[in-house]
Amino acid sequence: MQTASTGLGTVVVDGSGRTVYVFDKDTQGATKSACTGPCLATWPPVPAGSAPKADGVSGTLGSITGNAGTKQLTLNGWPLYYFSADAGPGAVAGQGVQGIWWAVSPAGSKVTTTAPATTGQGGAY
């Protein structure tokens, strides 16, 4: 994990520059994600490697066993996700989808700034 400057300010991205998100229906520190079934197709979990690295991220990285059966990366106890409709590095189309999906600050808190000139598409979860 690292940080990148986007239209939302500085947010956490993966090594390829892909924005990661948190889900308001998750519970911080829980051992399971609230994203199940069709949600996982739109919001795939960020996989956790054996020793995740954080460049510029001050929050604590960890992992849970995600609903897809693999290790899912967490930041400050919040499971992390990608948005399937993000077009590439630095894209933030998932920001604010359904008022429950948010990019993440380097400290591990959700960013509630509205994405400029782009809105995410996604079903209600």
> What pLDDT, on a 0 to 100 scale, did the predictor assign at position 57?
92
Average pLDDT, the chain: 88
> What pLDDT, on a 0 to 100 scale, did the predictor assign at position 96?
95
Taking only the tens place, the pLDDT of each residue in 52-111 is: 788 899 999 999 998 777 899 999 999 999 999 998 899 999 999 999 999 999 999 999
Tokens 């591990």 correspond to: 108
Cα gap 28→39, rounded to integer Å: 18
> What pLDDT, on a 0 to 100 scale, did the predictor assign at position 115?
59
> What pLDDT, on a 0 to 100 scale, did the predictor assign at position 121?
45
Would you say residue 116 has pLDDT above 60?
no
Cα gap 36→51, rounded to integer Å: 25
Q: Which residue has the higher pLDDT, 24 or 68?
A: 24
Confidence bin at 118 (pLDDT 50/70/90): very low
How far apart, in Å, are the Cα atoms of 61 and each of 2, 46, 104, 114, 123?
11, 12, 12, 25, 28
